[in-house]
């Protein structure tokens, strides 16, 4: 996906620069490099050990790999993605009309040369996925026509230079996965055109400047994996166009600001692995496009607000390892787009609301290690897309719902460490994809249903053998070879008196592949776009599509 996106961006830039003229030039005409350009390219070619014959004085620009020229023979487009070794030659600075430079995905090391300050017309710069070291040089901060700059995944160190805020045309800035330290520049609001700011995976420290909220065009902010501290500034509510906010794996403290309600375009909120405290703001329910909510591994407390049911587009609710209390609100049944709910290791009590029966897109329910203390609702005949159901380490009474046997693609079922009573439903034997079944530390009685022996995928089966027996040898021994190990692990004495069935001479008939448990993919709803516009599925868009 990323490679296709890079290609589309490249083609778009080529079109914007008017470089298509080289492809419609009359046959037989030759565009020769201007002398200074040919000389510079010859030096670059030699330093990188390339064998391109046209990279020299008198070379034909139209036949030179990775290059395009203007009508005067000056290089304006330089694309040498992947396979280069060495350092960045200072001779590149002689390509003074260059507007597009991509030398990413290579093995370039050393520092970024000061000579690049001569590339005054540069609009697009990619040097990501190399091994560049040293500081971000002032030379790059002089390229005031830059609209796109990616230095992702290098070994750059030092602070982010304040002068970078002089790049007032910059729309996309990616400095992720380096060794940068220090704070985010306080004058970051100077970059009014900025749409994407990514500085993830560094060692930035300090607090977020309040000026971060003065970026009116910002769509994506990713500062994850740093050492940022302090409270989230209330000024972030000014990012009204923001769609993606990723601040996980930092050291933020305090409450989630109420001003989050003003992020009316937000669809992806990732604040997990911080030290956020206080209760969840009720204003979370005012985010109409929110699809992904990650707040796990913080110190959040209090109940889930009933307004969370207003998040009609929510697909993932991920808030494990907090101190959330109270019951799950009935309004959770309004989240009809929900695919994953993960609230493990909290203090949630009461019942699992029966309204979850309306969540037919659910594929993972993970509520283990809470204080749920009411019987499990028998509504799973409606939830046939679940592949993981984890309710262990609660206080659930009553019996195992027979409707769990209707979840055809279930692969993992853990109900251990509860207060469940009664027998194991024979309907569990219809779960043909089941691999893991744990019913230990309950108060179950009776026998292991012989129907479990028909589950050829079963790998681990755990039941308290002092309360549950394996039943009559005539039935329980009639199991498939692949699940025999599971039964013998449960009841070794019983299995020792039986003879395992011989291997089948031919493999059993294959089952269809289990559908993957994933959030919804990009799609175009009916009449999504106005008349005259095409709807294009686009997974990186909040709505899942774009109108073009």
Distance separating the N- and C-terminal Cα atoms of the chain: 19
Contact in structure between 207 and 235 (CB atoms under 8 Å)? no
pLDDT at 55: 95
**What residue spans define the domains of the chain?**
1-182, 375-490, 524-548
Residue 546: strand pairing partners: 536
Portion of the chain with pLDDT greater than 70, in percent: 80
The dotted CATH code for 1-182 is 3.80.10.10
The tokens of 63 are what? 């036949």
pLDDT at 543: 58
- Are 1-182 and 375-490 the same fold in CATH? yes
pLDDT at 455: 84
HSE toward the beta carbon, residue 497, CA cutoff 13 A: 9
pLDDT in tens, 78-109: 999 878 999 999 999 999 999 999 999 999 99
pLDDT in tens, 474-490: 333 333 333 445 555 55
CA dist 181 → 138, 156, 173, 198, 393 (Å): 16, 10, 17, 14, 42
How far, in Å, CA of 290 to CA of 422, rounded?
41
375-490 domain in CATH 1.10.357.10?
A: no
How far, in Å, CA of 451 to CA of 519, rounded?
32
Contact in structure between 458 and 433 (CB atoms under 8 Å)? no
DSSP per-residue codes, 43-88? HHHHHHT---TTSSTT-BGGGSTTEEE-TTS-EEEEE--S--EEE-
Kindly report the pTM of this predicted structure.
Answer: 0.86
Per run of 10 residues, the mean pLDDT along the chain (length 548 residues) is 49 49 50 96 95 94 95 96 91 98 96 97 98 97 98 98 97 98 96 97 97 96 98 96 98 97 96 97 95 98 97 97 98 96 98 97 97 97 96 98 96 97 94 93 87 82 71 40 50 46 44 56 58 55 56
Q: Which of 81, 93, 182 is nearest to 135 (CA)?
A: 182
pLDDT in tens, 19-71: 444 433 433 578 999 999 999 999 999 999 999 999 999 999 999 999 999 99
């Amino acid at each position: 996906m990323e490679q296709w996106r890079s290609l589309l961006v490249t083609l778009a830039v080529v079109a914007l620069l008017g470089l298509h003229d080289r492809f419609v030039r009359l046959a037989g005409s030759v565009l020769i490099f201007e002398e200074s350009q040919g000389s510079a390219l010859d030096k670059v070619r030699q330093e990188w050990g390339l064998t391109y014959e046209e990279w020299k004085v008198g070379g034909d620009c139209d036949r030179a790999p990775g290059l395009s020229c203007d009508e005067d023979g000056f290089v304006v487009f330089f694309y040498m993605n992947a396979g280069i070794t060495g350092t960045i030659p200072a001779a590149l600075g002689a390509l003074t009309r260059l507007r597009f430079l991509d030398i990413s995905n290579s093995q370039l090391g050393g520092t970024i040369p000061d000579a690049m300050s001569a590339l005054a017309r540069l609009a697009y710069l990619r040097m990501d996925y190399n091994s560049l070291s040293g500081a971000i040089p002032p030379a790059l901060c002089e390229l005031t026509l830059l609209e796109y700059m990616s230095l992702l995944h290098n070994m750059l160190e030092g602070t982010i230079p304040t002068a970078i805020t002089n790049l007032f045309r910059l729309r996309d800035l990616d400095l992720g996965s380096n060794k940068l330290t220090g704070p985010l520049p306080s004058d970051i609001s100077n970059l009014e055109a900025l749409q994407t700011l990514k500085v993830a995976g560094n060692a930035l420290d300090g607090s977020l400047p309040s000026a971060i909220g003065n970026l009116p065009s910002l769509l994506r902010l990713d500062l994850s994996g740093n050492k940022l501290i302090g409270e989230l500034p209330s000024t972030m509510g000014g990012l009204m166009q923001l769609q993606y906010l990723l601040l996980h794996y930092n050291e933020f403290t305090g409450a989630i600001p109420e001003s989050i309600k003003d992020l009316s375009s937000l669809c992806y909120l990732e604040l997990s692995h911080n030290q956020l405290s206080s209760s969840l703001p009720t204003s979370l329910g005012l985010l109409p496009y929110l699809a992904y909510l990650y707040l796990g591994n913080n110190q959040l407390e209090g109940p889930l607000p009933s307004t969370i049911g207003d998040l009609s587009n929510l697909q993932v609710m991920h808030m494990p390892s907090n101190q959330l209390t109270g019951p799950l609100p009935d309004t959770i049944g309004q989240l009809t787009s929900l695919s994953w709910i993960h609230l493990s290791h909290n203090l949630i009590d009461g019942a699992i609301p029966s309204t979850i029966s309306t969540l037919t897109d659910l594929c993972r329910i993970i509520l283990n290690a809470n204080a749920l203390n009411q019987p499990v609702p028998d509504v799973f005949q409606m939830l046939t897309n679940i592949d993981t159901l984890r309710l262990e380490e609660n206080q659930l009474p009553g019996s195992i719902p027979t409707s769990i046997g209707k979840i055809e693609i279930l692969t993992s079922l853990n109900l251990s460490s509860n207060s469940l009573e009664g027998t194991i439903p024979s309907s569990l034997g219809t779960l043909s994809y089941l691999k893991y079944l744990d019913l230990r530390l309950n108060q179950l009685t009776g026998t292991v249903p012989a129907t479990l022996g028909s589950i050829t995928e079963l790998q681990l089966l755990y039941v308290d053998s002092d309360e549950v027996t394996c039943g009559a040898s005539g039935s329980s021994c009639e199991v498939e070879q692949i699940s025999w190990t599971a039964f013998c692990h449960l009841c070794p004495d019983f299995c020792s008196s039986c003879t395992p069935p011989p291997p089948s001479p031919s493999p059993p008939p294959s089952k269809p592949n289990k559908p993957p448990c994933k959030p919804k993919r990009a799609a175009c709803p009916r009449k999504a776009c106005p008349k005259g516009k095409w709807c294009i599925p686009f997974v990186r868009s909040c709505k899942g599509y774009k109108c073009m």
